[in-house]
Amino acid sequence: MTQIAEDSILTRLRQDADRGTPQALYALASALVTRQQMAEAFDLHHRAAQAGHANAQIETARMLMFGIAANVDVPRAGEWLLRAEAAGSPIAGYFLALMAVGHPSFAREARTNERVLAAVNANYPPALRAAAIHFGRKPDEHDQTLCLQLLERATHAGDVVAAQLLAERLMHGEGCIPQPEAAEELWAQLAPLGIERLPDISLPLPASTPGPSNTLALEEVLQRPAVKLLSAGPRIGQVDGLLSADECRLLMASARPRLQRSRTIDPETGLPVAQEIRTSSDASIDPIVEDLALRLVQLRMCVAAGVSLTQAENLTVLRYEPGQEYRPHRDYRPPGAIEQDRPEAGNRLRTICVYLNEVEAGGETEFPIASAVISPEPGRAIIFDNLFPDGRPDPDSLHAGRPVQQGIKWLATLWLRERRYRHY
């Protein structure tokens, strides 16, 4: 669109907004958001929200959740969402469920499941995707069918991540008989969007005790898995099959469009720089792109690590090609780096890494001082302490991602702080 045509649209929206109907305020605010004029957009969304416009209430809440043109204010975001939900918006309920996932009362909040179900019934793709992945972990045939049906509905609603999960299931015959033609058809539709096939992974269903069949019970994520201890000092643990094939694929598909050359913190300046120590690519998942499914996976990782989700830095997904590696390093941060990124959260207490695919050769994680070597297996997690119990950095936590020799290695990492890092 030309600049002139765009300006005339904005002028018309402004004239309409001057008459002050909530819909006109909302329309102008939405147009300003696409033009990155966030301060004015927030003011207009807020006015429309006060006048009772449900979508403007959701947008006001989202801007307060993510601190866009306003300071993060989670309680106020929650109030706006409750108002929008009371006015009949299932999407507002979805965001309330999303925020509840990091909260200590999550297990007792039966309404979270009801809210997600309402958003599923409204065909809201992020809710369909999260519910599909939830049912996909359950071995019951009925739940597996539900998973596929929900992925299909999300795909029809335009969700490209769900489409990738669906294609992989159809290809491998997970929860259905193998349907390679249907999978190929989906991949053909995704190709013009620049989306390639995901790595082939085959994984038995996770060993966790599933909730009741045919019932959405997201609190299943809070079950603490058995951790196999590989070393007592520093503590290194392993959990096989922590994540399901759908969850591994979700992480790879969500990260792929956001990959860039990895950076590490320069100990001198405390600033991120590209260095030979870490030659992979990675994607940091900003909370603003975090959907319910991604938050549930991160909560699962945090439960395994015995740490609150609010202590987690942004999820990082790494991708190593042959020859790429993460040379020996420690995850705790130099003092300068802590000061630049929420010093009140303290240092990196613990790390959890989950391998997302099979690596043909190489790519093991090695702890040279603790004498542990872990081979990548999809869904396998390793959890290790970076600090002594008294908070001092433990130099024995030295570890490395050995060079990949053949194939690609995908890994998801959460660096966990000593205290609260996230707002919710």
Nearest distance from residue 399's CB to ligand AKG, in Å? 5
Residue 353 binding ligand AKG, by CB under 6 A: yes
Spatial neighbors of 191 by CB under 8 A, at least 6 apart, are none
Q: What CA–CA distance (Å, rounded) separates 263 from 50? A: 43
The pairing of beta strand 281-285 with beta strand 260-261? antiparallel
What SS3 state is found at 307?
A: coil
Residues 403/363, Cβ–Cβ less than 8 Å: yes
Q: Which is nearer to Fe ion, 138 or 399 (CB)?
A: 399
Q: What CA–CA distance (Å, rounded) separates 344 from 315? A: 19
Torsion of CA 131, 136, 140, 143, to 10 degrees: 30
Residue 286-325 contact track with Fe ion, rule CB under 5 A, x = bound:
----------------------------------------
Nearest distance from residue 328's CB to Fe ion, in Å? 9
Q: Residue 399: in which H helix or E strand, if any?
A: strand 399-401
Nearest distance from residue 243's CB to ligand AKG, in Å? 16
CA distances from 145 to 140, 213, 246, 253 (A): 9, 11, 14, 22
Window 127-156: residues binding ligand AKG (CB under 6 A)? none
Q: Which is nearer to ligand AKG, 77 or 251 (CB)?
A: 251
Residues 397/329, Cβ–Cβ less than 8 Å: no
Angle (nearest 5°) at CA 190 between 186 and 192: 135
Give the rounded distance of the alpha carbon of 239 from its chain centre: 20
Nearest distance from residue 399's CB to Fe ion, in Å? 6
Residue 365-404 contact track with ligand AKG, rule CB under 6 A, x = bound:
x---------------------------------x-x---
Partner whose binding site includes residue 385, from ligand AKG, Fe ion, none (CB under 5 to 8 Å by kind):
none
Bridge-partner residues for 319, per DSSP? 281, 410
Structure tokens at 259: 């990959």
Partner whose binding site includes residue 401, from ligand AKG, Fe ion, none (CB under 5 to 8 Å by kind):
ligand AKG
Residue 351 binding ligand AKG, by CB under 6 A: yes
Q: Which is nearer to ligand AKG, 331 or 358 (CB)?
A: 331
Nearest distance from residue 400's CB to Fe ion, in Å? 8
What SS3 state is found at 393?
A: strand
Q: What CA–CA distance (Å, rounded) separates 229 from 212? A: 30
Nearest distance from residue 200's CB to ligand AKG, in Å? 20
Q: By Cβ distance, which residue is nearest to ligand AKG? A: 401
What SS3 state is found at 230?
A: strand
Residue 326 binding ligand AKG, by CB under 6 A: yes
Q: Which is nearer to ligand AKG, 80 or 326 (CB)?
A: 326
Nearest distance from residue 362's CB to ligand AKG, in Å? 10
Q: By Cβ distance, which residue is nearest to Fe ion? A: 331
DSSP class of 204: P
Nearest distance from residue 402's CB to ligand AKG, in Å? 7
Least Cα distance to 251 among 318, 350, 326, 156 occurs for: 318
Spatial neighbors of 419 by CB under 8 A, at least 6 apart, are 311, 344, 345, 346
Choose, by CB under 6 A, the member of 59, 85, 331, 385 that binds ligand AKG.
Answer: 331
Choose, by CB under 5 A, the member of 143, 174, 291, 331 that binds Fe ion.
Answer: 331
Partner whose binding site includes residue 254, from Fe ion, ligand AKG, none (CB under 5 to 8 Å by kind):
none
Residue 411 binding ligand AKG, by CB under 6 A: yes
Partner whose binding site includes residue 411, from Fe ion, ligand AKG, none (CB under 5 to 8 Å by kind):
ligand AKG
Q: Can you give the binding site for Fe ion, defined by CB under 5 A?
A: 331
Q: Can you give the binding site for ligand AKG, defined by CB under 6 A?
A: 326, 331, 351, 353, 365, 399, 401, 411, 413
